[in-house]
A and B are shown apart, each in its own frame.
Chain A
Amino acid sequence: MSGVESERDPETLALFLEESLEALQRIESLMLDAEKGSLAPAAMATVFRDIHTIKGTSAFLSLKKIQGLSHVAETLLAKLRDNTLPSQPHHFTLLLQVGDVLRQLVDHVKDHDSEGEIDVEPLIANLLAALGPPPSAQPSLPPPPTKLGEILVHKQVITPAQLEEGLQQQQAMQAPANRAEAIDSTIRVNVAVLDRLVNLIGELVLARNQLVQMVKVSRESNANTQGACQRLNLVTSDLQEQIMKTRMQPVERVFEKIPRMVRDLCKSTGKQVVAQIEGNSTEIDKALVEAIRDPVMHIIRNAMDHGIELPQVRAAQGKPVVGKLAVRASHQGGMVTIEIEDDGKGMDPKILRAHALKKNVITPEEANRLSDRESLELVFRPGFSTAEKVTDISGRGVGMDVVRTHVERAGGQVELDSVVGKGTTIRLKMPLTLAIIPALLVQTGQQRFAIPQVDLLELVYLNEEQTRTAIENVRGAVIHRLRGEILPLIRLGDVLGLSNAQTVRHDGGTNIVVVAVGSRRYGLVVDAIHDTEEIVIKPLHGQLKRLACYSGATVLGDGDVALILEVAGVAMKAGIDISTQRAAFDARAEEDARRQRQSFVVFKAGNGAQCAVPLAVVARLEQVQTAQIETVAGMEVVQYRGTIMPIIRPEAILPIGKPASQRAEQLLLVFDFGQRVGMAVEQILDIVEVADDPDGVQNDIPLTLGQMVISGKTTLLLDVYQLVRKLAPQFVQERRRGRERLRIMLVDDSTAMRAALSGFLRARGYDVIDASSGDIALRELRAGRGGRIDAVVTDLEMAGLDGFGLMEALRAEKPELPTIAWTFHEDPVVVKRALAAGARCCINKLNREELMAALKDNGVISKRLVDSGRAA
Chain B
Amino acid sequence: MNAIVESGGSGKWLTFWLAGEMFGVRVEDIQEVLMQQPLTPVPLAADHIVGLLNLRGQIMQAINLRRRLHFPLREDDGPSSLMVIKQQEHFISLVVDDIGDVLELPAESWRLPPDTLASQHRSFVFGICPIDDHVVLGLRVDSLSGESDRAAQKES
Q: Using CB atoms and an 8 Å cutoff, list the residues of chain A in contact with chain B.
A: 203, 206-207, 447, 496-498, 538, 540-544, 546-550, 553-555, 559-563, 573
Smallest CB–CB gap between B141 and chain A, Å? 12
Q: Are A543 and B59 in contact (CB under 8 A)?
A: no
**Docked-complex contact A560 and B49, CB < 8 angstroms:** no
Question: Are the CB atoms of B54 and A555 closer together than 8 Å?
Answer: yes
B145 sits at the interface (CB 8 A):
yes
Q: How far is it, in angstroms, between the C-alpha of A554 and the C-alpha of B53 when the chains are bound?
A: 10
Determine whether the beta carbon of B61 is less than 8 Å from that of A541.
yes
- Could you pull out 17 A-B pairs where Cβ atoms are within 8 angstroms? A497-B44, A541-B60, A541-B89, A541-B90, A541-B92, A542-B61, A542-B147, A543-B46, A546-B153, A547-B42, A553-B40, A553-B59, A555-B59, A561-B51, A561-B59, A563-B42, A573-B155
Residues in A neighbouring B72, C-beta threshold 8 A: none
Complex Cα–Cα for A543 and B90 (A): 13
Q: Are A543 and B147 in contact (CB under 8 A)?
A: yes
**A207 touching B57, Cβ below 8 Å:** yes
* Bound CA span A547–B41, Å: 13
Contact partner of B54 among A542, A543, A560, CB < 8 A? A560
CB-CB < 8 A to A447: which residues of B?
A: 40-41, 43
- Contact: B61 with A544, CB < 8 Å? yes
B147 & A561 in contact (Cβ 8 Å cutoff)? no
Chain A neighbourhood of B153, CB < 8 A? 543, 546-547
A544-B49, A573-B155 as given contacts; A561 in contact with B54, CB under 8 Å: yes
Q: Which of A203, A547, A548 has the most CB of B within 10 A?
A: A547
Q: Is the CB of B54 within 8 A of A559?
A: yes
Question: Provided the pairs A543-B152, A547-B45, A573-B155 are in contact, do residues A562 and B92 lie with their beta carbons within 8 angstroms?
Answer: no
* Cα–Cα distance between A546 and B146 once the two chains are bound (Å): 12
The minimal Cβ–Cβ distance linking B106 to chain A, given in whole angstroms, is: 32
Q: How far is the CA of A447 from the CA of B45 in the complex (A)?
A: 15
For residue A554, which residues in chain B have a CB less than 8 angstroms away from its CB?
A: 59
CA distance A561 to B52 in the complex (A): 7
Residue pairs across A and B with CB atoms within 8 Å: the count is: 75
- With most chain B CB atoms within 10 A of its CB, the pick from A203, A550, A553 is A553
Say whether B38 faces chain A, with CB atoms less than 8 Å apart.
yes
Partner of B43, one of A496, A541, A548: A496
Contact of B155 among A542, A548, A560, A561 (CB under 8 A): A548
Q: What residues on A are CB-neighbors of B49 within 8 Å?
A: 543-544
In the assembled complex, the Cα of A563 lies from the Cα of B41 at a distance in Å of: 9
Q: Which of A548, A563, A573 contacts B52 (CB 8 A)?
A: A563
* Docked complex Cα distance between A822 and B89 (Å): 55
**Which residues of the partner chain B approach A555 to less than 8 Å between Cβ atoms?**
54, 57, 59
Which of B45, B60, B146 is packed against the most chain A CB atoms within 10 Å? B45
Residue pair B145, A549 in contact (C-beta under 8 Å): no
Task: Please give the distance in Å from B143's CB to the nearest CB on chain A.
Answer: 11
Q: For residue A446, which residue of chain B has the nearest CB?
A: B41
B52 engages A546 (CB within 8 Å): no
Given contacts A207-B57, A549-B43, A554-B59, 4 further A-B contacts (CB under 8 A): A540-B59, A547-B153, A555-B57, A561-B40
Residue of A nearest to B151 (CB): A543
For B60, what are the chain A residues with a Cβ–Cβ distance below 8 Å? 541
Closest to B48 in A: A543
Known contacts A207-B57, A561-B53, A547 near B145 by CB under 8 Å = no
Q: In the complex, what distance in Å separates the CA atom of A553 from the CA atom of B45?
A: 14
The answer, among B43, B46, B53, B92, for a CB contact under 8 Å with A498, is: B43
Tell me which of B44, B51, B61, B87 contacts A496 (CB under 8 A). Answer: B44
For B54, list chain A residues within 8 Å (CB).
Answer: 555, 559-561
Let me know if A538 and B152 touch, CB within 8 A.
Answer: no
**Top 7 closest A-B pairs, CB basis?**
A542-B145, A496-B43, A561-B40, A561-B52, A538-B59, A553-B59, A203-B57
Closest to A549 in B: B44
Q: Which of B127-156 contact A (CB under 8 A)?
A: 145-147, 152-153, 155
The smallest beta-carbon distance between B48 and chain A, in angstroms, is: 9
Q: Given A206-B57, A560-B54, answer yes or no on A541-B44 (Cβ-Cβ < 8 Å).
A: no
Q: Which residue of A lies closest to B89 (CB)?
A: A541
The CA-CA distance from A538 to B54 in the complex, in Å, is 11
Interchain CA distance A680-B107 in the complex, whole Å: 72
Whole-angstrom distance between the alpha carbons of A540 and B49 in the complex? 12
Give complex CA distance A447, B42 in Å: 10
Whether A546 pairs with B43 at a CB distance below 8 angstroms is no
Which of A497, A540, A542 is in CB contact (< 8 Å) with B146?
A542
User: Which A residues touch B87, using CB under 8 A?
Assistant: 541
With A541-B145, A555-B57: A560-B43 Cβ-Cβ less than 8 Å: no
Taking CB atoms, residues of chain A closer than 8 Å to B57 are 203, 206-207, 555
Assess whether B40 is in contact with A563, with CB atoms less than 8 Å apart.
Answer: yes
Residue of A nearest to B58 (CB): A538
A555 to B51, CA, bound (A): 13
Q: Which residues of A contact B90 (CB under 8 A)?
A: 541
Closest to A207 in B: B57
State in angstroms the CA–CA spacing of A548 and B46 once bound together.
Answer: 14
In the assembly, what is the distance between CA of A555 and CA of B54, in Å? 7
Q: In whole Å, how far is B150's beta carbon from the nearest beta carbon of chain A?
A: 12
**Residue on B with the closest CB to A548?**
B155
A546 / chain B contacts, CB cutoff of 8 Å = 147, 152-153, 155
Which residues of B have CB within 8 Å of A206? 57
User: B155 contacts which chain A residues (CB < 8 A)?
Assistant: 546-549, 573
A543–B49 Cα distance when bound, in Å, is: 9
Q: Which residues of B contact A547 (CB under 8 A)?
A: 42, 44-45, 153, 155
* Chain A proximity mask over B35-79: 1 for CB below 8 Å, otherwise 0: 000101111111001011110011111000000000000000000
CB B3 to nearest CB in A, in angstroms, measures: 26
Interface bits B78-104 vs A (CB < 8 Å: 1, else 0)? 000000000101101000000000000
Looking at A542, A544, A547, A554, the one whose CB has the most chain B CB atoms below 10 A away is A542
CB distance from B76 to the nearest CB of A (A): 24
A542 & B92 in contact (Cβ 8 Å cutoff): yes
Contacts of A560 in B (CB 8 A): 38, 40, 54
Report A-chain residues with C-beta under 8 Å of the C-beta of B40.
Answer: 447, 553, 560-563
For A544, give its contact among B38, B42, B146 (CB under 8 Å): B42
CB A534 to nearest CB in B, in angstroms, measures: 14
A544-B43 CB under 8 A given contacts A559-B54, A561-B54: no
Tell me if B147 and A553 are in contact (CB < 8 A).
Answer: no
Chain A residues with CB under 8 Å of B59's CB are 538, 540, 553-555, 561
